[in-house]
Copies of this chain bind each other. A is one copy, B any other.
Amino acid sequence: MPISSRRPADLAIVNCTALLSARADRATFGPGTTLEITDGRITKVDTNPASPTIAGKVIDAQGMVAMPGLINTHTHAAMTFLRGAAEDVSVTHWFNDYIWPMEVNVGERDVYLGTMVAIAEMIECGVTTFADHYFHMDMAAAAVQETGIRANLGSAFFSSQGRTGLDTSVAFAERWNGQADGRITTSIAPHAPYTVNDDDLRAAATEALRLGVKVHIHGAEDIIQTNASLRSRNETPIQVLDHTGVLEAGAIIAHGNGILPADIPLLAAHRDRVGVTHGPKGYLKFAMGPLTPIADLRAAGVPVGFCTDGVASNNTLDIFESMRITALSQKQIADDATWFRNSMALHMAGPESAAVMGMRGETGTLTVGARADVILVDLSGFHCQPAHDLGAALVYSVQPTDVRTTIVAGKVLMRDRALLTIDRRALLDEFRQRAREITDRTHGRTIQDYTQ
């Protein structure tokens, strides 16, 4: 599908094996492909290049797979500070005894540092876009701007903050949407239906519609939350999101493990604007019970994307790992080894995760016109050889360090494992110092109490 270009491309990737498309039943790879990139978008995907490429810069990707950069559809990036700080505890203890008392210590500079570390880790494992849900978000936006990654950012709030939380979230969404050459988009980010009241959810939906952004919210995180909601108000969390207008406005819903069959038609009615985000590592680690009903959601056309949540629960920001654990757990749950083929994992990682973010066709695909978010993955290591099945290698064998090069909007952020926009040593020195201080809980304060 070559398209002629009047001027030389800004960047060309030549000799790669490109992931041309990923459908549920089949992933198609094109060996010897040339990708051309200009003004931050893919301008040519040539699977049979006839003549040498002329471009401002050429990357020879011989022996590498080029695939769409990975998308982390829900995280709390700055929580890198708390990696390993609350292990082997129940979710209630995790919130009340560790995370919320520690987060009291997190200041603006910390959010910048923590987000920078998260972005470094994500670029290193091939994530080119992430959806973030945290606070002091101007600092997160600064980190995104500086590092060159793409993100959808939402300023989280609880109704316990009064009007301030919502106002801050709306003002942030308005201020930053479309910034950093369009790499930053925004959401309104109420925490969850059990921490944000219906009036504030309605206001969030109204403001999201006004600004043309999504609502990014935790919903039906596990079956315990759903049951608590049914007991206290005779509605599921998804029903609450429906009647408050959140689904109508469009939403990224994390994590949906507690979605009931009756919720699915509500989500399906808004499937052009609503998606669910899935990161099974943390759910299994918390022994959350039933997992997100991916099969039913997919059957209803509701996009489901991959996420990692924050590293305080998930320990890593590695979407390859989310793909792998999802594929394994879905086969086991369905009691069918032939379900959830590796192509389906790649489909969820690409087009479906992009749809969850509201970026259908914009990222998650190597097609002409899409944003040039591309990673080069080296499958020549012993652990990937022989590469009888490239999809299987990407889903079941690949290691994060096999990602050699990460490109966002046509700009190379990592080349041959070297980060080009982040000063590793200086960042880690300051980060480690603050990490020790942030885990101090002797002050006895907390952000809020976890009762659903």
| A328: B residues at CB distance < 8 A | 281, 284-285, 325
Closest to A280 in B: B328
| A336: B residues at CB distance < 8 A | 287
Question: Is B383 touching A338 in the complex (CB atoms < 8 A)?
Answer: no
Cα A332 to Cα B83 with chains together (Å): 21
Segment of A104-112, A181-189, A248-256, A314-322 in the binding face: A314-322
- Beta-carbon contacts under 8 Å, A271-295 to B: 281, 283-289
Please encode chain A, from 210 to 248, with 1 for each CB lying within 8 Å of some chain B CB and 0 for all others. 000000000000000000000000000000000000000
- CB within 8 A of A289: which of B329, B335, B400? B335
Question: Is A385 touching B87 in the complex (CB atoms < 8 A)?
Answer: no
Q: Does A121 contact B (CB under 8 A)?
A: yes
- CB within 8 A of A124: which of B281, B339, B382? B382
Cα A220 to Cα B97 with chains together (Å): 42
Question: Is A84 touching B383 in the complex (CB atoms < 8 A)?
Answer: no
Question: Is B397 touching A284 in the complex (CB atoms < 8 A)?
Answer: no
The residue in A283, A286, A328, A436 that gathers the most chain B C-beta atoms within 10 A of its C-beta is: A328
Q: Does A331 contact B (CB under 8 A)?
A: yes
Q: Does A393 contact B (CB under 8 A)?
A: yes
Q: Does A401 contact B (CB under 8 A)?
A: yes
| A83: B residues at CB distance < 8 A | 384-386, 388, 392-393, 397
**What number of copies of this chain does the assembly contain?**
2
Question: Is A285 touching B337 in the complex (CB atoms < 8 A)?
Answer: yes
Please encode chain A, from 51 to 89, with 1 for each CB lying within 8 Å of some chain B CB and 0 for all others. 000000000000000000000000000001111110111
- Nearest CB of B to A143, in Å: 13
Please encode chain A, from 334 to 357, with 1 for each CB lying within 8 Å of some chain B CB and 0 for all others. 111111111000000000000000
Count of chain A residues with Cβ under 8 Å from any Cβ of B? 69
| A424: B residues at CB distance < 8 A | 382
| A85: B residues at CB distance < 8 A | 388-389
Q: Does A205 contact B (CB under 8 A)?
A: no
| A87: B residues at CB distance < 8 A | 341-342, 389, 391-392
| A386: B residues at CB distance < 8 A | 80-81, 83-84, 431-432, 435-436
Cα A386 to Cα B339 with chains together (Å): 38
Please encode chain A, from 363 to 400, with 1 for each CB lying within 8 Å of some chain B CB and 0 for all others. 00000000000000000111111111101110011011
- CB within 8 A of A316: which of B80, B317, B383? B383
Q: Does A137 contact B (CB under 8 A)?
A: no
Cα A397 to Cα B383 with chains together (Å): 19
Closest to A427 in B: B382
- Nearest CB of B to A438, in Å: 9
Q: Does A91 contact B (CB under 8 A)?
A: yes
Closest to A340 in B: B88
Question: Is B338 touching A388 in the complex (CB atoms < 8 A)?
Answer: no
Q: Report which A residues bind B (CB closer than 8 A).
A: 80-85, 87-91, 94, 117, 120-121, 124-125, 281, 283-289, 315-318, 325, 327-329, 331-332, 334-342, 380-389, 391-393, 396-397, 399-401, 424, 428, 431-432, 435-436, 439
19 residue pairs from A and B, CB less than 8 Å apart: A83-B388, A83-B397, A85-B389, A87-B392, A88-B338, A91-B337, A281-B328, A281-B396, A283-B332, A284-B329, A284-B332, A315-B397, A316-B396, A380-B428, A382-B424, A385-B435, A386-B432, A386-B436, A400-B401
